[in-house]
Structure formats: structure tokens, C-alpha cells
């Protein structure tokens, strides 16, 4: 975006010479004797700490037929222990003016609190207690299952877009458990029970399968001392390691699926391609895919915006994203909403054409540099929130990545070449290896052309 | 097909009054003390017996990630025991002029021999021996795995139609293991080994999980005596029962998939709908679906033939079938090949229209009676081969059906009403709950319209 044209090779040398910022540069990692990994990210801006415990287990580790158990257990972790009965932990957090939450993905389950720094040890004591002493009775399990079923009803069953995304994942992943919704299939959630939850808990919730991330106004020595007094007392179960997941067979051709619903206001399409994740990719692969997503559909300077929204006026919006984090192969997604009067088919053909053009003619240095700056900027900005930084680190490490890879992300993005970007597009964005989902309004009888 | 019009109700009464034939009317069923189920089907036409042992385990019972193990074990069952080393059983069958084979489905695995009646006891001794004394070494397992991989390469990988069918199943069944190919995914077959095969064998190959079917020139008493001396000596393992399989979530909308390959000569389409099997259906449900399949696409008097092949001249052929046998919900499939110059889209729309018309206007008594006669006739004819009759009984019983249901199939078909048929079509053949697969030739660049 400099006004003076710079020769590409020169610019690259200049970039490499410049001090590329690192993410969480002062983060420190160590491991307790019982196998608990710890990352401390000092952040002295306020006397606050974010305390997160991450388990290397998620929906993709569930036994077939028990979908939703990882997420259900996340709910049940709030149900208390002998020392701290149902609600005691949350009440205490509220009492000291803190915040808490939890989240489950296909690859991890995490719990966190944000509190004033002097309460860190207490949070660790609570969290260590429920890592190993969870008490579950049918009296709490059964009503909580109804809560989860209601959550699914509201978030998925009542939302055609979510139903489409869920079916799209299940079509994209025919064998790998990423095809399964994290919240679980409704009929399988209904059958989850106390025993299943406790088995899952007993197998996976142990220090050697966990990661402690503490970000905030605290140093590594202090965190280590507190962690040893709490988590450090728990005995490890060395066998608590998740099994490798079944791999995908090759995709034999393009797939489509269509959801029509009266709640849909405007037609949309999304197309997904399976790609390596930052854990499974060859060196530079995830970085090239990240830059590619930005070039194709990352904002108002992207090719989709330029060609489809502004240019030909086919789309209200069109974009792309690459899901880099995952233990196993993840996805690259393009999506678009046609302008009124434009068909999904026409928009889709034009999106395909934009990608084919990129594959054939490559990317130019100007858009490459702009995309790299944008991807780096997003990473840099994400550090602004203590919680988001802790999440980036926790998610990466439970996905099989390393602290160094998180830290060096900006410099690895800077190293991406134009050739890597067009190669990634050629290798992974093949129409014949895609699943395309269409969300359509229900057309009234008179307007229909006879096909449903 | 009578020349004199008959009032429907009268005709039905007449049919019920007539002696509707039963399938294998003289078959006898009993159980040995160790839980082995036995069915004897006397057939005195020749001094020959068909001896089949069926295990209630198939590809749908495999652990995720080990697809193909049921079929691989079927191969390995020919590798010998201590008493009868590799090849000894097959050599003996060949020596006495017999035949043998084996087959694996999603729901069962079966082994059979056809020999002169005096060798029945010997076959039982061999088969009982390998039910419990199989010996496997890497020296036989590893080369046999290459045999299976080659089988897959020839039957699936080199056949675009098989690749399409495989992906279609995996799209139709998002959660249930019927979505998995019986032969296994190539990458998972490659990882199968001696230990996995033996674990599967040790878990499922036991008399209380097996069914012996003997058809031929022999009576129940003789079979019982021989079975007790051979199979009867094996100790049952009561826990060897397969677990229920995970159920499907509801289908949210129509899916398509396309395979293009240079080996494809003419475009074809197939559309599959999930339906109850004869095991899971309500009373009369599987019977109505069987009659429906015949009416829609069962031959030269079917609606597809009449409307699409002969009538509008859109199709070279078009048909339908219903897969009635299955432990869990199975499928109804329609398929067609357009005439040159007709697009798959046009043929598909017309196939949809034919079904919509049937749903809306019902079926007439004439086509109903013709279809029922045809379905009954097929069942009656299938008895002509001793082996096919034994397979029908074995497959039904390992799928959770009963001997009585097999025997009464013709009378249950006769009881199907026109209303049941159109109701089945309305309930199960919804376009929005279907997966459609297209097989297409690779079109040369110049002929293409720009879309791949």
C-alpha cells in the first residue's frame, strides 16, 4: 500500500529484515511433574488475571452414538463436588466480581474465569477440585440434559442456516468425526446419561491431558507455585490420551445440499473444501491458505468483493475464510448472497470463475502484501483482549500446535509467496472436491417452476 | 390381468380365500443348548445339501476407523486351524466335488458349502472347528490384506459407478454405519492387522451369535444330531451380542453428488431415500414399499417404463428397487439412463413427476394386483435354487426377522392395499429427503458450457 512501487524481491528482504512482531512474545511454558502443561502470558495492564483450564478432548473424540457428550460434560462440570456443591464455584466467582464461561469444540473443552489477581490461587483450587472430584446424580444430570436439548432446539433446530451447516459438515466429512455436530445429534443427546458423562470425565479429565493458561498480572514463578499447590496434587492417569481419529476417504466428486425454509429471507450459498489445518499442513501450508482466504474474500479489497459485489453487481456480499485450527484436516469456505434477481447458480459460477482465474494467473505482489498485512494485523489485534490471547494460545496448544508456532505466526505469514498462494488454491479449491450448501426461501406455489 | 372386471373388494376376498403359497413351508427351526439357532429346509429333489453358517455381525458392527474388518475376517477364515491347516478345508471340498463360498454384508457374514448329502457331518465338523480355533499369523494376514486391497481396487476404485454408489451411501447415512462400505475404506483396510481380526473374531464368532441353515436332502432330526456332535460342543460366550447402531438424524434437505470419469459412457442418475427395512417397519410397511417399487419401476409394465421409456421417450431405461432386508432402516432407490440428447435434469424432473402423480392420484387396482403378483412370483421363483432359498432364510433371520415372516411373505404382500402403497410413496419418497447421484462422462473442453 506504499505509493512507491517496490520490486518484489527487495520488498521481501526488507520485510524479513524488519522486526516482525511476535504474538505473546513474553509467554512462558512449563510442565508440572504430573504432566499438566502450563502457559503463562504476563499482561500487566490491569490487576486482573484470566485463568483457563483446557482439556485435550472434544466432540471428535466421542464414541460413535454418543455425540454431544463432550459438550454435555462441559455443562455438568458446573454441578459441583463434595467440597463445593452445585453452584458454589459460580457463586464465589460472582461474589468476587469475576466472570466465567466454558466452551467445547471438536478438539478441546475449556473452562475459564476472569478475576482480580489475588483470587488466582482460589480459582485454581476450585478448578483442580472439579478436575477430579466431580459428583453427578441423576437429579442434576437429567434436567441439565433438557437444558442442552433446549439449547440445540434454539440454536440449531430453529435455524435453517445452522441445520444446513450441520448437514454440510456431515456431507464434507464422511468418515472423520468432524462431520458430527459438537452439540450432538438431538436423538443422541436425549440418550446421554450420568454414566456416559462420568466415563468420559474419568477417561479424559486428568492433569496429563490438560493445559493451564494464565494470562494477566502475574509471573511464571507465582503461577508455578500456585499450580503446584493445587493441580500439582492430582495424580496423573497416563493412559488418558485420545486415539487418532479415522481419516477421510478421497472425495469422488462435487456434492450439494439444499435447505428450504420459510424462515429464510434471502438465498445464500456456501461451499466448503477440506484442507490441511495448521497442525497437519506442510511447512507454510496453513499460512498460504490464510493469505489465500484474505485475497479471495477477506474484505472490501478482496477479489470477491471487487469482482462480485462492486464489479458485476451479482452479490450483496461474498467472502471466504480458512479454519486453520484443528487437530486434523479442516476446511476452507467461500460464501455469498446474490443480489435480488440474481440466481445462486449464476453467483456460484462467477465465484468459481474468480478462483479459476487466480489459479491460472496467480496473485500479484500488491494484493499479496496487502493480504499478508491484513492477516498479521488481525493476529496482532487479537492480542488486545487478554481473554482472546489466552484462547488463541490454549486452542493452538490443545490442537497439537506449539507456543513457538503461535508466536511466530506473523513472521511465517510474511514469508508466504505468491506461488504458494496460487498453488494452495490449485491444490485445495477444486470444484470437484467440494460440498456446496444452498439456503433457500420457500417459494410460493405460483412462482415455482415445478421443481422442488 | 383377468379379462372380466372384478370389483376390488370382491377380488381381495377371493385372493384371501385362495391358498396363498408359503415360502419354505416345511422349514423347521430349533436352538441348541449353547444358543446356536438352526433352520432346516428339507429339499429332496437331489441327494445334495447346502450347509451355511451365518454370524450376526457385519460391516455395520465395526468400530469406527476399522472399516472392512468384517469382510477381511471373512477372507481370513479360510486360513486354517491347528487341526486343518491353511487350505485343508477347501481342498477337501474340492476333493468331494463340492462348492463353497462366503459373503459379508453390513449385517451378517456367512460361509457355505454345497456337497453330496453324506458329507454334511464332515462340513459341520470343519465349520465348527474354524468357528473357534482359527489360527492367524502375520505370514497369512499381510498377503491376504493385499488381496483385499486389490479386490477393492478392481471393484471400487476402477469403477466410477461403484465410487458413486459408495459416496451416495455415505451421504445418505451421515451417522449410521450403513454409510460405510462393506469392503472398507481403502486407507482403513491398509491398517487392518492380525490383532484387529482376531479381536473381531473372538468377540463375535460364537454359537450364540450364529445361525446354521441346512437346506437339502436331509431332515431336522439328522441335522440336530450332527449339529450337536459338532457345533454343540462349543461353549457359548453370552456377551457376544452386537450393540445397537447409532441412528440417523433427520435429513434437512435434498443432497446431490456427481462423479465424472472418462470411463463413463452414458450419464445415469440414481436417487435414494431412507426407508424402514422389513425389520424396522410397522406392520405392512415393508410389503407396501415392495409393491410400490414394482409399480414405479419393476419392469416393462411399470410407470417409469410406461411413462419414460415407452411414453415420452426420455429414458433408455428407468427403474426402482426397495432394499427390504436390514437390521436398521434401509433404502428405496430410483434410477434412470436418459436417451441421447435428453439431460439428466429433464429425466430427473419427469421421474419426480411420475412419483408426485402416484402420491396425488393413488394407484389403481389393476396395477396393484399386477405388482403384487409379480412380487409374490419373485419370492416363489427364488425358492427354485436351494442356495438362494437358504440365503433368503439366513439373511432374514440374521437381520432380525423371523422364519414365520419369511414364510408368510406372499400372504402379507397379498394383503397390501392401494392406500398403503400411495401412503408409503407420500411418506418416504420425498424429493427433499433424498440423495441423488449423477454419473457423467467427461465432456471435452469444446462441448462444455463452462461449468464443471
For the stretch B258-273, pLDDT in tens is 999 999 999 999 999 9
> Which residues of A18-108 form beta strands (DSSP E)?
28-31, 37-42, 48-55, 99-104
Q: Is B167 exposed, middle or buried, given 0-12, 13-18 or 19+ CB atoms closer than 10 A?
A: buried
Residue in B with minimal Cα distance to A167 = B252
Q: Closest approach of chain A CAs to the CA of B308, in angstroms?
A: 17
The minimal CB distance from A432 to the residues B185, B243, B452 is found for B452
Q: CB distance A259–B251 less than 8 Å?
A: no
Distances (CA, A) of A337 to A304, A305, A410, B278: 11, 12, 32, 44
Has residue B362 got a pLDDT over 90? yes
Asked whether the CA dihedral A410, A416, A420, A425 is positive or negative, the reply is positive
SS3 at position A123: helix
Predicted local confidence at residue B443, as pLDDT:
73
The owner of cell 466472570 is: A99
Give the Cα separation of A245 and A400 in Å (integer).
Answer: 14
Q: Which helix (DSSP H) or strand (DSSP E) does residue B53 occupy?
A: strand B48-55
Q: CB distance A174–B175 less than 8 Å?
A: no
Asked whether the CA dihedral B344, B347, B350, B351 is positive or negative, the reply is negative
What is the pTM assigned to this prediction? 0.89
Cβ-Cβ contacts under 8 Å, B171 against chain A: 171, 174, 255
The owner of cell 414394482 is: B294
User: Is the separation of the CB atoms in A38 and A224 below 8 Å?
Assistant: yes
Predicted local confidence at residue B18, as pLDDT:
55
Give the Cα separation of B222 and B344 in Å (integer).
Answer: 57
Predicted local confidence at residue B319, as pLDDT:
97
Interval B220-226 mean pLDDT: 98
Interval A127-135 mean pLDDT: 97
Interval B343-364 mean pLDDT: 97
- Cell numbers for B61: 458392527
Query: Smallest Cα–Cα separation from A243: which of A34, A108, A60?
Result: A60
A352 at B interface, C-beta within 8 A: yes
Cβ-Cβ contacts under 8 Å, A186 against chain B: 249
Q: Which long-range contacts (CB under 8 A, 24 or more apart) does B292-295 make?
A: B292/B320, B292/B322, B292/B332, B292/B421, B292/B424, B292/B425, B293/B320, B293/B321, B293/B322, B293/B332, B294/B371, B294/B374, B294/B375, B295/B358, B295/B363, B295/B367, B295/B368, B295/B371, B295/B421
Strands B255-261 and B330-338 turn out to be unpaired
Has residue A426 got a pLDDT over 90? yes
Give the Cα separation of A377 and B256 in Å (integer).
Answer: 40
Query: Smallest Cα–Cα separation from B319: which of B346, B331, B301?
Result: B301
A96 at B interface, C-beta within 8 A: no
Confidence of residue B3 (pLDDT cuts 50, 70, 90): very low
Maximal C-alpha separation, chain B: 72
Give CA torsion, residues B275, B281, B283, B284, to 10 deg: 30
Q: CB distance A167–B251 less than 8 Å?
A: yes
Predicted local confidence at residue A238, as pLDDT:
83
Has residue B13 got a pLDDT over 60? no
How far from each other are the two terminal CA atoms of chain B, in whole angstroms? 49
User: Is the separation of the CB atoms in B114 and B387 below 8 Å?
Assistant: yes
Has residue A142 got a pLDDT over 50? yes
Distances (CA, A) of A301 to A310, A368, A429: 10, 11, 20
Strands B28-31 and B37-42 turn out to be antiparallel
Report phi then psi at B214, rounded to 5: -120, 120
Say which residue, A22 or A240, is predicted with more confidence: A22
Predicted local confidence at residue A80, as pLDDT:
95
Strands B37-42 and B210-216 turn out to be parallel
Query: Smallest Cα–Cα separation from A49: which of A105, A100, A104, A108?
Result: A100
Asked whether the CA dihedral A181, A186, A188, A194 is positive or negative, the reply is positive
Q: Which helix (DSSP H) or strand (DSSP E) does residue B131 occupy?
A: helix B120-132
Predicted local confidence at residue B444, as pLDDT:
66
Residues 172-211, chain A, touching B (beta carbon < 8 A) = 174-175, 177, 179-180, 185-188
B99-104 sheet: strands from edge to edge: B28-31, B37-42, B210-216, B48-55, B109-116, B99-104
Give the Cα separation of B72 and B68 in Å (integer).
Answer: 6
Q: Is A79 left (phi over 0), alpha (psi -120 to 50) or beta?
A: alpha
- Cell numbers for B213: 441353515
B315-322 sheet: strands from edge to edge: A315-322, A330-338, A268-275, A434-441, A255-261, B255-261, B434-441, B268-275, B330-338, B315-322
Predicted local confidence at residue A18, as pLDDT:
55
Of chain A, the percentage scoring pLDDT greater than 70 comes to: 94
Give the Cα separation of A388 and A382 in Å (integer).
Answer: 6
Confidence of residue B445 (pLDDT cuts 50, 70, 90): low
Task: Give pLDDT tens digits for A103-125.
Answer: 999 999 999 999 999 999 999 99
Task: Give pLDDT tens digits for A328-353.
Answer: 999 999 999 999 999 999 999 999 99
Confidence of residue B6 (pLDDT cuts 50, 70, 90): very low
Active-site pick, B33, B62, B74, B360: B74
Range of weakest confidence among A309-318, B14-23, B286-295: B14-23
Task: Give pLDDT tens digits for A376-395.
Answer: 999 998 888 899 999 999 99
Has residue A15 got a pLDDT over 70? no
Q: Closest approach of chain B CAs to the CA of A62, in angstroms?
A: 11
Interval B209-226 mean pLDDT: 97
Q: CB distance A255–B254 less than 8 Å?
A: no
A157 classed as catalytic:
no
Cβ-Cβ contacts under 8 Å, B259 against chain A: 252-253
Give the Cα separation of B321 and B332 in Å (integer).
Answer: 6
User: Is the separation of the CB atoms in A405 and A396 below 8 Å?
Assistant: yes
Q: Give chain A's count of helices (H) and strands (E).
A: 17, 11
User: Is the separation of the CB atoms in B109 and B102 below 8 Å?
Assistant: yes
User: Is the separation of the CB atoms in B24 and B406 below 8 Å?
Assistant: yes
Task: Give pLDDT tens digits for B180-199.
Answer: 999 999 999 999 999 999 99
Confidence of residue A265 (pLDDT cuts 50, 70, 90): very high
Q: Closest approach of chain B CAs to the CA of A105, in angstroms?
A: 19
Of chain B, the percentage scoring pLDDT greater than 70 comes to: 94
| DSSP label at residue B295 | H
Interval A18-43 mean pLDDT: 93
Cβ-Cβ contacts under 8 Å, A243 against chain B: 65
| DSSP label at residue A44 | T
Interval B400-422 mean pLDDT: 96
B264 at A interface, C-beta within 8 A: no
> Which residues of B276-329 form beta strands (DSSP E)?
315-322
Strands A37-42 and A210-216 turn out to be parallel
Give the Cα separation of B22 and B409 in Å (integer).
Answer: 7
User: Is the separation of the CB atoms in B422 and B358 below 8 Å?
Assistant: yes
Task: Give pLDDT tens digits for B389-402.
Answer: 999 999 999 999 99
Predicted local confidence at residue B10, as pLDDT:
41
- CA A202 to chain centroid, in Å, comes to 25
B450 at A interface, C-beta within 8 A: yes
- Cell numbers for B444: 471435452
- Cell numbers for A354: 474468480
Report phi then psi at B89, rounded to 5: -60, -50
Give the Cα separation of B182 and B180 in Å (integer).
Answer: 6
- CA A48 to chain centroid, in Å, comes to 25
Query: Smallest Cα–Cα separation from B170: which of A253, A187, A160, A440?
Result: A253
Give the Cα separation of B65 and B159 in Å (integer).
Answer: 24
Give the Cα separation of B351 and B305 in Å (integer).
Answer: 10
SS3 at position B376: helix
Q: Closest approach of chain B CAs to the CA of A451, in angstroms?
A: 7
Q: Which helix (DSSP H) or strand (DSSP E) does residue B95 occupy?
A: helix B88-95
Average pLDDT, chain B: 93
Task: Give pLDDT tens digits for B52-101.
Answer: 999 999 999 999 999 999 999 999 999 999 999 999 999 999 999 999 99
The owner of cell 461451499 is: A271
Predicted local confidence at residue A295, as pLDDT:
98
Predicted local confidence at residue A444, as pLDDT:
66
Has residue A451 got a pLDDT over 90? no
The owner of cell 496487502 is: A370
The owner of cell 470463475 is: A353
Has residue A54 got a pLDDT over 50? yes
Residue in B with minimal Cα distance to A157 = B252
Q: Chain A interface, mutation test: which of B159, B178, B249, most A Cβ atoms within 10 Å?
A: B249
B431 at A interface, C-beta within 8 A: yes
Say which residue, A8 or B134, is predicted with more confidence: B134
Give the Cα separation of B319 and B317 in Å (integer).
Answer: 7
Give the Cα separation of A118 and A120 in Å (integer).
Answer: 6
Confidence of residue B20 (pLDDT cuts 50, 70, 90): confident
The minimal CB distance from A255 to the residues B171, B450, B452 is found for B171
Amino acid at each position: 500500500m506504499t505509493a512507491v512501487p517496490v520490486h518484489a524481491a527487495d520488498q521481501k528482504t526488507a520485510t524479513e529484515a524488519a522486526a516482525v512482531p511476535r504474538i505473546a512474545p513474553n509467554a512462558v511454558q512449563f510442565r508440572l511433574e504430573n504432566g499438566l502443561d502450563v502457559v503463562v502470558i504476563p499482561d500487566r495492564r490491569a490487576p486482573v488475571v484470566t485463568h483457563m483450564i483446557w482439556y485435550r478432548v472434544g466432540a471428535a473424540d466421542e464414541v460413535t452414538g454418543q455425540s454431544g457428550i463432550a459438550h454435555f460434560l462441559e455443562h455438568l462440570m458446573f454441578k459441583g463436588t463434595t467440597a463445593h456443591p452445585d453452584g458454589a464455584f459460580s457463586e464465589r466467582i460472582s461474589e468476587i466480581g469475576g466472570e466465567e464461561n466454558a466452551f467445547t469444540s471438536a478438539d478441546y473443552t475449556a473452562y475459564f474465569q476472569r478475576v482480580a489477581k489475588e483470587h488466582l490461587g482460589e480459582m485454581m483450587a476450585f478448578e483442580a477440585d472439579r478436575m477430579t472430584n466431580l459428583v453427578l446424580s441423576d437429579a442434576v444430570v437429567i434436567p441439565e440434559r433438557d437444558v442442552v436439548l433446549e439449547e440445540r432446539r434454539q440454536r440449531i433446530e430453529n435455524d435453517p442456516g445452522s441445520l444446513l451447516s450441520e448437514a454440510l459438515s456431515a456431507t464434507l466429512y464422511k468418515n472423520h468425526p468432524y462431520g458430527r455436530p459438537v452439540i450432538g445429534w438431538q436423538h443422541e443427546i436425549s440418550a446421554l446419561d450420568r454414566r456416559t458423562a462420568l466415563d468420559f470425565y474419568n477417561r479424559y479429565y486428568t492433569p496429563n491431558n490438560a493445559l493451564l493458561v494464565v494470562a494477566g498480572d502475574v509471573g511464571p514463578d507465582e503461577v508455578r507455585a500456585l499450580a503446584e499447590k493445587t493441580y500439582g496434587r492430582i495424580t496423573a492417569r497416563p493412559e488418558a490420551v485420545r486415539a487418532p481419529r479415522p481419516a477421510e476417504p478421497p472425495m469422488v466428486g462435487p456434492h450439494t445440499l439444499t435447505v428450504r425454509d420459510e424462515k429464510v429471507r434471502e438465498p445464500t450459498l456456501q461451499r466448503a473444501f477440506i484442507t490441511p489445518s495448521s497442525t497437519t499442513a506442510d511447512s507454510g501450508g496453513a499460512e498460504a491458505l490464510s493469505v489465500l482466504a484474505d485475497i479471495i474474500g477477506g474484505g472490501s479489497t478482496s477479489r470477491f468483493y471487487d469482482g462480485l459485489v462492486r464489479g458485476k453487481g451479482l452479490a450483496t456480499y461474498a467472502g471466504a475464510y480458512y479454519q486453520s485450527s484443528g487437530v486434523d484436516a479442516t476446511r476452507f469456505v467461500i460464501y455469498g448472497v446474490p443480489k435480488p434477481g440474481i440466481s445462486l447458480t449464476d453467483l456460484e459460477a462467477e465465484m468459481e470463475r474468480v478462483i479459476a482465474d487466480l489459479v491460472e494467473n496467480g496473485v500479484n505482489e500488491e494484493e499479496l502484501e496487502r493480504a499478508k498485512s491484513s492477516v498479521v494485523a488481525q493476529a496482532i489485534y487479537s492480542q488486545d483482549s487478554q481473554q482472546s490471547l489466552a484462547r488463541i494460545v490454549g486452542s493452538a496448544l490443545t490442537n497439537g500446535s506449539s507456543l513457538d508456532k503461535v508466536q511466530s505466526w506473523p513472521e511465517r505469514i510474511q514469508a508466504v509467496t505468491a506461488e504458494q498462494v496460487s498453488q494452495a488454491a490449485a491444490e485445495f479449491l477444486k470444484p470437484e472436491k467440494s460440498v456446496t450448501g444452498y439456503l433457500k426461501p420457500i417459494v410460493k406455489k405460483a412462482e415455482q417452476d415445478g421443481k422442488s
